[in-house]
Amino acid sequence: MGVKREVTKLLNLPGVIVEKIQDTEGALILSVRVENQTARCPRCGQISHRLHQNKRYLVKDLPIGNREVILYVNRRRFKCNNCQKPFSESLDFVGNRKKFTHRYAEAITQQVIHSDILNVAKNNKLTAEALKAKERAKLFGSLKGSKYTLLKSESKLSKKQRKKLKQVKEASPLIGIMHSLKEELHQIFEESKNLGEGTFKIIDWLVKAKTYYQKSVSSIKRWFSEVVGYG
């Protein structure tokens, strides 16, 4: 039994094979490839076998044991026989242009929800400030034009808005907290018996949210009338 096969099993990403293992001081760098030799053209839907280009880049994944794992992913470019244009394959485990796997983002989101930002930063060997600055930059980039999607109740979103919400959440592992705080805010309006009680709860909510997103809270304050009017 080869080591690569063992690590492929440990990695446990369906359809993904470890081709090379670099055991560096900081992390295990695993060069991976997908089993599938073909990809579907996003324009016309036709399956292409024509490899156009290999494009490798680094993606953070969940640790294996106590070792940090970075995947050296090949997002291949294929050429469509029908459209005659190249396209990048879409991978199940990592979003386009994302620096972390879906499951890594999911794990971080869970950590954020269940602990505080300092612990998350510590567990992920980032300083709280770096994490905040990075995530904030991403957050505000992805928030552009997403105000409505984030404020509207998830159950009332159209298919297109749902997709946008997914994109926004993918853009930042911390967006989950933003969204769950919003859901909480919505809950306050649903459950409060009178405006006075609701207002006090909202002040509490804003104080809590402020520790995560100072700018977002200012935005929410600005959007306040819209939030109040929603439902």
Query: Where on the chain is the footprint of Zn ion (CB under 5 A)?
Result: 41, 43-44, 46, 80, 82-83
Residue 103: closest CA among 6, 11, 8? 11
Closer to Zn ion at the Cβ: 5 or 43? 43
Tokens of 18: 């470890």
Residues with Cβ < 8 Å from 61, sequence gap 6 or more? 11, 13, 69, 70, 71, 100, 101, 103, 104
Query: Quick one: 46 or 54, whose CB is closer to Zn ion?
Result: 46
List the structure tokens of 155. Answer: 């159950």
Q: Rounded to the nearest whole angstrom, what is the least distance from the CB of residue 43 to Zn ion in the complex?
A: 4
Q: Nearest approach, Cβ of 80 to Zn ion (angstroms)?
A: 3
Report, in Å, the least distance between residue 162 CB and Zn ion.
26
Do 50 and 37 form a contact (C-beta atoms < 8 A)? Answer: no
Task: Give the integer Cα–Cα distance in Å for 116 and 121.
Answer: 9
Please, which residue, 22 or 46, has the CB nearer to Zn ion?
46
CB of 175 to Zn ion, least distance (A): 32
Q: Which is nearer to Zn ion, 61 or 89 (CB)?
A: 89
- Number of Cβ within 10 Å of residue 18's Cβ equals 23
